[in-house]
Structure 1
Amino acid sequence: MEIAGFGVEAWLNQYEKTATTDISQSSIAALTMQEVVDLDGHHGQKFYQQLNNLRLDYGWIEGSPAFKKLVSGLYEHVPADNVLQTNGATGANQLAIYSLINPGDHVIALYPSYQQLYDIPKSLGATVDYWHIHEAAHWLPDLTELRQLIRPETKMILLNNAVNPTGSLLDEAMLKQVVELARTVGAYVLADEVYEPLDGTPFSSIADLYEKGIAINSLSKTYSAPGVRIGWTATQSRELADLFRKYRDYTMICGGVFNDQLAVLILQHRAEILQRNREIVSRNLKIYTDWVMQEPRASLIAPHGISVSCLKLDLPTDDETFCRQLLAETGVLLVPGSRFDLPGHVRLGYCTQTATLKRGLTKLSAFLRRYDA
């Protein structure tokens, strides 16, 4: 098995710890451990008392009953028993693709988006056709193109919704047309749904729209807890869940009793976390879009309250060289668009701490002025 290097992850692995102003990340500003445990209303005392009584065995292999019930409650048609805990959304994507895709299968992947969704199927010997997003269409794909790509033998359509790094969203009307096409050939539809819009834009999960839909999610992005490393698969179908169970036994045992307890606490207080994050998104997006309006070398198709953005820069050099020089001279970290096959752009994570965003944008503007002469 051969697989391409993971562009964005390789970049961040190399550079994120050397940055002094990191505005590259796709999560909403991470919660501290204290902020999480304070959610119990007892300054963490209740949480740590429960934790102290736990044995550090394997715990609940698929996630605790409390976790599975809370995740099930995020959907309309997903029973708790069909929720399987994974090592983040990356683990969930890998599990679902590994369970269903065989050499010679035909799949269609939204492109460009999260690299896992097309390069893992390729590594398994599948034929992968790209369903392109288009900058001229506000980073959305064209359903006519999907109709041309789909075949009688298509096994799976893979989506990233909302899309990383553009922040564009496939709405319910478009998803229903995807489902209609998939149903004609019996294809699965997998949607990595880790980016939930926080500006009031309606969001529909593929698991609620399609009996062969596979929803992937985690606590990393919308819930501001990437360090917990808990994700999940969610399906209407018990048959699918049982298939994932078989393959899951080969890829992980459990998420760990500590992480599971943290995940339960976070999901129990989902409303408070989402309110906190809506405020960050609203405040920071205004700062960011105001900056774009006054920066002559920048243009942006604004994300729909989603924590990633794809900023276009007018540069006389390539985006990777620019990002390396920017980091070396200012400490500001961005992800080159080339790491997503979007040259001439950068991923800018505007949902970091507000002070960090302001500092990063100021430094970025100052650095861009060197190209004005």
Structure 2
Amino acid sequence: MDIQAFGVEEWLNVWENEAVYDIAGSSIVSMTLEEILTLGSSGKEELLNQVLVKTMNYGWIEGSPGFKEQVAKLYQKAKPNQILQTNGATGANYLALYALVKPGDHVISMYPTYQQLVDIPRSFGAEVSLWRIQEANQWLPSLEELRNIIRPDTKLICINNANNPTGAVMDRNYLEELVEIAREVGAYILSDEVYQPLEDGIDVPPIFDLYEKGISTNSVSKTYSVPGVRVGWIIANDELSDLFRKYRDYTMICAGVFDDFIATHVLKHKKEILERNRQIVDHNLKLVKDWVAQEPRVSWVPPRHVSTSFIKLDVSEETERFCIRLLKETGVLLVPGNRFDMPGYARLGYCTRTEILEKGLEALSEFLRQYD
């Protein structure tokens, strides 16, 4: 088995610690442990006392009943036994691909997207067809094109909704048509749903609730601002869940007693967190929209109140070289678009702290003046 280096992670591993103004990430400002423990009415001391008496054993292997109860509330049709706790959404995606994809299978993946969804199936010996997103279509891939590339033997369609890096969103109408196409050939749909759009009036149901062969993965890392506990989940129909259980035994025992406790508490108080994060997204997105409007060397398709965005750079320089010089000379960190096989673009993570975003955009504009 051979696999490509993970472009974005490789980039961040090398350069992230040098950043003064890190506007490359895709999470909404991470919460502190103190902020998490003050959620709700229990009080920090009571919650700390609950933690202190916990035995540091393996805990609940598939996730505690409380965790499964909170996750189930995110779906219309969920049963607790269909939910498996994983090591982040990364672990959930890997589990689904590990269990389903065999050599010679035909897999379709939207592209570019989170690299797991393309290169893990390839590493397992699958034939992967790229379903390319289109800037002219608000960074959504064409459903008509999907009809042209799907085959009677297509095993799996992989999507990332909302999309990383662009922030584009497949809404209910789009997803229902996607399901009809998949159902015609009996293909599974794996949907990485870590980026929840925090926008009023947009209907984006989980693929699990729409399709009997839909597999939803998610975590508390992005929309819920707690990547530090590394807790995610996968949910699918009963038959698939039992299959995933078998393969999960080879990849993970448990997420950890403390991690499960924090993740459960976070999901229990998701309403407060989502309101906090909606304010951050709304405020920072307006800042970036105003900045793009006055910056002649940057254009974009605005994300749908999702914590990641993709900007187009009008510069006469190779993108990665530009981003390295930008970092070294100004302290501003972006992810170059070639890490998504999209040279000429960059991922801009605008949901960092507002003061970092403001200073980072100012420094980026000053740097861009050399190309005028």
Tell me the equivalent position of 2:223. 222
Tell me the equivalent position of 1:203. 204
Q: Report the CA distance between 1:78 and its aligned residue.
A: 1.5
Q: For 1:162-204, what per-residue CA distance to the aligned partner results, in whole angstroms no more than 9, with x for missing partners?
A: 0000000011111111111111111100000000000122211
Structure 2 residue ranges without an equivalent (≥5): none
Measured in 1, the distance between the counterparts of 2:42 and 2:264 equals 16
Tell me the equivalent position of 2:341. 341
Tell me the equivalent position of 1:78. 78
Tell me the equivalent position of 1:143. 143
Q: For 1:243-286, what per-residue CA distance to the aligned partner results, in whole angstroms no more than 9, with x for missing partners?
A: 00000000000000000000011001000000000000110000
The number of aligned residues is 371
| 1:234 matches 2:235 | yes
User: SS where residue 39 of structure 2 aligns?
Assistant: helix
| 1:162 matches 2:159 | no
Structure 1 residue ranges without an equivalent (≥5): none
Q: Report the CA distance between 1:47 and its aligned residue.
A: 1.5
Asked if the contact 1:107–1:155 (Cα under 8 Å) also holds between the matched residues in 2, the reply is: yes
Asked if the contact 1:93–1:117 (Cα under 8 Å) also holds between the matched residues in 2, the reply is: yes
Asked if the contact 1:167–1:304 (Cα under 8 Å) also holds between the matched residues in 2, the reply is: yes
Measured in 1, the distance between the counterparts of 2:19 and 2:273 equals 27
User: SS where residue 145 of structure 2 aligns?
Assistant: helix
Measured in 2, the distance between the counterparts of 1:316 and 1:89 equals 37
Tell me the equivalent position of 2:5. 5
Measured in 1, the distance between the counterparts of 2:47 and 2:170 equals 38
Question: Percent identical across equivalent pairs?
Answer: 57
Tell me the equivalent position of 2:361. 361
Measured in 2, the distance between the counterparts of 1:357 and 1:41 equals 32
Asked if the contact 1:109–1:129 (Cα under 8 Å) also holds between the matched residues in 2, the reply is: yes
Q: Which amino acid aligns with 1:135?
A: E
Q: Report the CA distance between 1:41 and its aligned residue.
A: 3.0
- Equivalent positions of 1:10-159 (< 5 A) are 10-159=10-159
Q: Report the CA distance between 1:76 and its aligned residue.
A: 0.4
Asked if the contact 1:40–1:47 (Cα under 8 Å) also holds between the matched residues in 2, the reply is: no
Tell me the equivalent position of 1:282. 282
Q: For 1:318-348, what per-residue CA distance to the aligned partner results, in whole angstroms no more than 9, with x for missing partners?
A: 1100100000011110000110111100000
Q: Which amino acid aligns with 1:195?
A: Y
Q: Report the CA distance between 1:81 and its aligned residue.
A: 1.0
Q: Which amino acid aligns with 1:313?
A: L
Measured in 2, the distance between the counterparts of 1:97 and 1:119 equals 10
Measured in 2, the distance between the counterparts of 1:155 and 1:355 equals 46
| 1:248 matches 2:266 | no
Q: For 1:108-138, what per-residue CA distance to the aligned partner results, in whole angstroms no more than 9, with x for missing partners?
A: 0001111100100000000000111001111
User: SS where residue 39 of structure 1 aligns?
Assistant: coil
Which is worse superposed, 294-303 or 42-51? 42-51
Measured in 2, the distance between the counterparts of 1:268 and 1:321 equals 44
Q: For 1:336-363, what per-residue CA distance to the aligned partner results, in whole angstroms no more than 9, with x for missing partners?
A: 0110111100000001000110010000
Q: Report the CA distance between 1:90 and its aligned residue.
A: 0.4
Measured in 2, the distance between the counterparts of 1:132 and 1:328 equals 33
Measured in 2, the distance between the counterparts of 1:231 and 1:262 equals 12
| 1:312 matches 2:312 | yes
Q: Report the CA distance between 1:158 and its aligned residue.
A: 0.3
Q: For 1:296-320, what per-residue CA distance to the aligned partner results, in whole angstroms no more than 9, with x for missing partners?
A: 0000100000000000110000110
Q: Which amino acid aligns with 2:210?
A: L
Measured in 1, the distance between the counterparts of 2:272 and 2:347 equals 28
Give the root-mean-square deviation of aligned CA atoms: 0.7
Deviation beyond 6 Å, 4+ runs, structure 1: none
Q: For 1:69-110, what per-residue CA distance to the aligned partner results, in whole angstroms no more than 9, with x for missing partners?
A: 110110001211110000000000000000000000001000
Measured in 2, the distance between the counterparts of 1:123 and 1:189 equals 19
Measured in 1, the distance between the counterparts of 2:41 and 2:292 equals 40
TM-score (norm 1): 0.98
Measured in 1, the distance between the counterparts of 2:362 and 2:313 equals 15
User: SS where residue 59 of structure 2 aligns?
Assistant: coil
Q: Which amino acid aligns with 1:276?
A: R
User: SS where residue 38 of structure 2 aligns?
Assistant: helix
Asked if the contact 1:195–1:221 (Cα under 8 Å) also holds between the matched residues in 2, the reply is: yes
